[in-house]
Structure 1
Amino acid sequence: MNMLWLIRAKAWAKRPPSTKRIIFVFGIVAACVVLYLIERAGLLPEWMQLEARTGRGGMRF
């Protein structure tokens, strides 16, 4: 483990994040998980899906 991580952990233990921040972070994580599960189930609308690329192409400007 890097020494910097130990210093950060010490600072976080002294001043933990607020309850609102914890709820906010877990809400974002939950939203990402829900979007992933909806995508895997095939329930996304067509406008949210990526177009399939064919061949060997990159972005053209």
Structure 2
Amino acid sequence: MFNMRQFFRMAKWARNPPGEKQVKLFLIVVALCLVLFGIERLVGWPDWLTMDNTPGGKITR
């Protein structure tokens, strides 16, 4: 749902766009996320990072 707060934020952003450094930082972060996603899709998710599906979410040892 679109609300007025989002509209005012977009208007403020259109009047005062972010600087060049902030745009570069954003693009670097997006590129890093895409690289990590690509590596995960090609290699797979390691088993040691997968949580055990235990009843009640309790970890038993």
Listed as ranges, the gaps of 5+ residues in structure 2 are none
Task: Give 1:15-26 correspondences, 5 Å limit.
Answer: 15-26=16-27
Give the letter aligned to residue 53 of structure 1.
D
Q: Which has the higher helix share?
A: 2
- Equivalenced residue count is 57
- Mapped partners of 1:50, 1:57: distance in 2: 19
Structure-1-length-normalised TM-score: 0.73
Flag the structure with more relative contact order, 1 or 2, with Cα contacts below 8 A and sequence separation at least 6.
2
CA RMSD of aligned residues (A): 2.2
- Mapped partners of 1:33, 1:18: distance in 2: 23
1:39 aligns with 2:10: no
The 1:56/1:22 distance shift into structure 2, 3 A limit, reads same
Listed as ranges, the gaps of 5+ residues in structure 1 are none
Structure-2-length-normalised TM-score: 0.73
- Mapped partners of 1:52, 1:11: distance in 2: 43
Per-residue deviation at 1:55? 3.8
The 1:2/1:51 distance shift into structure 2, 3 A limit, reads closer
Per-residue deviation at 1:57? 5.4
